[in-house]
């Protein structure tokens, strides 16, 4: 059994037990150098059967925030836990103590291309060219020399130039490249976007350097590829400075008059993610959506926890909306009221929301959506009004946000009124039928 252990913390004993063979190994982890650091435990080459990590004392699962005393594991699984403490970064197992980098709670680089973790934030990402990693896609990619123990990280470009820092433990050498994965006509290929390393193929790369990878297409996925030079087993870390798509939250207006609306939006929108919004004034509850409308009456900080979806970790993002003390009151503000703010439907069934009203100085509304389907009508000049959303296949299993916005004919200091409707779209269920054999009259059904 191989272990890859990194990102370390509090003095603790972890007992790994194979339920199939009833054997165990104890691993002690000593304090990390800063609060909220993580320990990631990745298991490789496990025998058949159930396996359990047991933590003493109990720890916090970084992905869920829940306190746990044990975690079930399978080959390649990566339970990540953390403690809030200070000290030295070191892990000891089987009588050997080693030093490791600290990479927030981000997942490790993957042993195989298909499971490469997606870069979701600007914190450090860590990896290793340990012998526990095998040669992956060796015959498919353009690569100088041989591949012994490569690993992968995926990112989505946000600009034509991607700038990042890479650091390899001193005296240990790796090879590095950026690839784009292409599929066409049932085949596949890897397009090399950068040189394999920055020195010489006969030497490899070590130390720390800032790299610019050019020629990227925004919105396209690329794969960082690392391999130990000549099979070297090295720890490395990589931090992105610019050009990579990461999760961010922003307000359409960060300063508003008391009670006026502003839209908070997480980008990019990940339909498969869960968005949990809170604020420091005790407001809410808020819809599970990447975009919400708020109407603060005092300066308020909003926090969104994003979990699931394309990213394999949970993370929190803050945005503060300030109240402008110099605002004059609006004599007749636009008003808007939706008859419902949430609902659900099957992917093949349109849904209609009637009984919505606008008033005050508003004379019309516009209606938009962020789903794969369509909303109709897209505007209305009469109140009450209704709208219908027709889902498309791409909406199945996701939430769609429908936004209704009034006009603002009086202008400042009045502002338009905004409300949202969150629609949960469930996939179609395909029934399964079993034919019953014919029986004679009077026979019993079996």
* Residue bearing tokens 């409707």: 421
- For 403-437, write each residue's pLDDT tens digit: 999 999 998 888 999 999 999 999 887 666 666 66
DSSP summary character for residue 87: S
Rg of the chain (C-alpha set): 27
pLDDT above 50 (res 62): no
> Count of CB atoms within 10 A of residue 346's CB?
14
Those residues whose C-beta lies under 8 Å from the C-beta of residue 144, and which sit 6 or more positions away, are 175, 196, 201
DSSP 421-441: EEEEEEPPP-----PPPP--T
Q: What angle do CA 395, 397, 403 make, to 5 degrees?
A: 50
Q: Which domains does the chain have, with CATH numbers?
A: 1-103 (no CATH), 106-246 (2.60.120.380), 248-323 (2.60.40.10), 335-426 (2.60.40.10)
pLDDT above 60 (res 13): no
Q: What percent helix, strand, coil does the chain show, rounded to 5?
A: 0, 45, 50
The pLDDT of residue 40: 47
Taking residues 43-59, report their average pLDDT.
Answer: 51
Those residues whose C-beta lies under 8 Å from the C-beta of residue 261, and which sit 6 or more positions away, are 293, 294, 295, 415, 416, 417, 418
Give the pTM. 0.58
Task: For the chain, give the percent of residues with pLDDT over 90.
Answer: 32
The pLDDT of residue 184: 53
User: H/E element holding 182?
Assistant: strand 174-184
The more confident residue out of 378 and 108 is 378
């Amino acid at each position: 059994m191989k272990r890859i252990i990194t990102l370390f913390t509090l003095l603790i004993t972890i007992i790994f037990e194979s339920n199939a063979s009833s054997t165990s190994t104890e691993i002690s982890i000593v304090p990390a150098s800063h609060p909220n650091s993580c320990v990631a435990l990745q298991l490789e080459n496990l025998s058949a059967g159930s396996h359990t990590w047991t933590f003493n004392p109990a720890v916090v699962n970084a992905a869920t925030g829940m306190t746990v005393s044990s975690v079930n594991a399978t080959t390649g699984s990566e339970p990540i836990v953390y403690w809030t403490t200070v000290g030295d970064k070191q892990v000891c197992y089987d009588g050997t103590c080693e030093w490791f980098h600290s990479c927030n709670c981000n997942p490790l680089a993957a042993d195989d291309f298909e499971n490469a973790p997606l870069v979701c934030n600007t914190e450090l990402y860590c990896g290793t060219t340990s012998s526990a990693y095998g040669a992956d896609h060796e015959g498919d990619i353009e690569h100088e020399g041989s591949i012994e123990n490569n690993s992968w990280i995926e990112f989505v470009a946000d600009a034509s130039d991607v700038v990042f820092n890479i650091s390899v433990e001193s005296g240990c050498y790796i090879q590095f490249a950026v690839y784009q994965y292409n599929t066409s006509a049932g085949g596949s290929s890897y397009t090399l976007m950068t040189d394999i390393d920055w020195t010489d193929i006969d030497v490899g790369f070590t130390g720390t350097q800032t790299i610019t990878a050019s020629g990227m297409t925004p919105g396209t996925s690329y794969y960082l590829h690392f391999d130990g030079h000549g099979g070297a087993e090295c720890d490395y870390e990589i931090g992105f400075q610019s050009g990579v798509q990461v999760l961010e939250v922003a307000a359409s207006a960060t300063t508003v008059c008391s009670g006026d609306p502003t839209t908070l939006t997480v980008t990019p929108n990940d339909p498969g993610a869960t968005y949990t919004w809170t604020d420091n004034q005790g407001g809410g509850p808020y819809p599970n959506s990447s975009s919400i409308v708020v109407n603060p009456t005092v300066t308020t900080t909003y926090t969104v926890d994003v979990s699931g979806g394309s990213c394999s970790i949970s993370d929190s993002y803050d945005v503060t909306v300030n109240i402008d003390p110099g605002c004059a009151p609006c004599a007749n503000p636009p008003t808007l009221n939706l008859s419902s703010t949430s609902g659900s439907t099957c992917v093949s069934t349109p849904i209609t929301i009637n009984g919505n009203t606008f008033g005050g100085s508003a004379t019309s509304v516009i209606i938009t959506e962020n789903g794969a389907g369509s909303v109709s009508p897209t505007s209305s000049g009469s109140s009450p009004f209704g709208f219908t959303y027709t889902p498309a296949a791409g909406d199945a299993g996701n939430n769609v946000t429908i936004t209704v916005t009034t006009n603002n004919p009086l202008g400042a200091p009045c502002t338009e009124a905004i409300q949202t409707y969150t629609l949960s779209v469930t996939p179609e269920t395909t029934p399964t039928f079993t034919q019953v054999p014919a029986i004679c009259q009077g026979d019993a059904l079996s």
